[in-house]
């Protein structure tokens, strides 16, 4: 911690002396909320928000036993896990740069679909082989996720392009904040669904440690569910414009809908409340056993 603190200390004076910002009149909160509501009612916004949220739920659906499988079956050590994570982050950063430089004119739908499949296929191969004891090696387990940072980085930045095109003059922050919040909310919401589904199977830590044939089949079932859910997320791709030309056309002629704007805010609020409630309930022993949070029942 001390080393990290020392390294970060120069950032403070550099920020103070070298970042220059022009003063401007502050935003009136009521006016900001009114403009945000008008923005949510436009077709480009509620369509892209729906894509980000619903595809994000399915694409972020995972399994609860991953860490136990990594520890008990693959024999991954924490040090090697962190080292490979750092390498993976480096690959992710390089991918963002290369995609931003050379991928501006790619078809967003096709590229996103290709990248999702490119992540699922190698991940499924490694996980199934580890589950059934064909190959149980920590480098085999850790190596593929590192390589997966390549398609993951491409999928991330391609999904971000549409946000840039949606943003108009003076509302860049509102657009990015709104779409980004919805995208981020899909992750914990998907986590709550994952807990609820996996709670019906024998995949707890003690089960993984026992490594019986029954447990292997249970893990196989939840893996099949997981990858099927990930692929279902591709069904929402028609909501994503193909390229910036289609995005601008949608902005010009898409129109607006008060009803769909309200529906958008409604499922956003529900997902926020639900995710918060379930994750808090999973902390306390008295409620963590409930099936709604992934327990086996109280």
CATH fold for domain 47-176+200-256 = Growth Hormone; Chain: A; (1.20.1250)
Tokens of 133: 């004891």
Residue 229 has pLDDT above 90, yes or no: yes
* Neighbouring-strand partners of residue 42: 256
Instruction: Say what the pLDDT of residue 35 is.
Output: 79
pLDDT band at 287 (very low <50, low <70, confident <90, very high): confident
Q: What is the pTM of this model?
A: 0.84
pLDDT by residue (tens digit) across 84-121?
A: 888 988 888 888 888 877 877 888 888 888 888 888 99
The domain segmentation of the chain, as residue ranges, is: 47-176+200-256
**What pLDDT score was predicted for residue 1?**
67
Three-class DSSP category at 42 = strand
Contact by Cβ (8 Å): 158, 104: no
Measured CA to CA, the distance from residue 145 to residue 168 in angstroms comes to 37
What is each CA distance from 293 to 64, 88, 152, 276, in whole angstroms? 12, 31, 28, 11
pLDDT at position 289 is 77
CA distance 167 to 118: 30
In the numeric block, the tokens 């086996």 are attached to: 296
CA angle in degrees (0–180, nearest 5) for 126-131-133? 95
């Amino acid at each position: 911690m001390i080393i990290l603190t020392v390294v970060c200390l120069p950032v403070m004076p550099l920020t103070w002396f070298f970042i220059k910002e022009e003063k401007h009149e502050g935003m009136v909160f009521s006016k900001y909320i009114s403009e945000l509501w008008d923005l949510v009612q436009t077709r480009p916004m509620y369509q892209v928000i729906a894509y980000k949220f619903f595809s994000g739920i399915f694409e972020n659906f995972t399994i609860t036993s991953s860490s136990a499988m990594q520890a008990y079956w693959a024999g991954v050590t924490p040090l090697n896990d962190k080292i490979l994570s750092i390498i993976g982050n480096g690959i992710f950063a390089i991918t963002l740069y290369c995609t931003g430089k050379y991928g501006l004119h790619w078809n967003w739908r096709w590229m996103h679909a290709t990248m999702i499949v490119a992540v699922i296929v190698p991940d499924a191969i490694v996980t199934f082989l580890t589950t059934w004891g064909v190959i149980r090696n920590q480098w085999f387990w850790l190596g593929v996720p590192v390589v997966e940072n390549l398609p993951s980085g491409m999928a991330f930045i391609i999904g971000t392009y549409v946000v840039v095109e949606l943003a108009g003059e003076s509302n860049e922050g509102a657009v990015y904040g709104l779409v980004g919040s919805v995208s981020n909310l899909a992750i914990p919401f998907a986590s709550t669904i994952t807990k609820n589904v996996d709670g019906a199977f024998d995949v707890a830590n003690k089960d993984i440690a026992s490594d019986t044939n029954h447990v292997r089949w249970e893990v196989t079932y939840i893996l099949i569910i997981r990858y099927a859910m990930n692929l279902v997320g591709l069904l929402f791709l028609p909501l994503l414009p193909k390229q910036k030309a289609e995005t601008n056309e949608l902005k010009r002629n898409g129109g607006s809908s008060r009803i769909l704007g309200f529906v958008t805010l409604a499922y956003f609020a529900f997902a926020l409340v639900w995710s918060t409630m379930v994750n808090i309930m999973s902390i306390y022993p008295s409620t963590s056993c409930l099936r709604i949070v992934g327990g086996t029942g109280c």
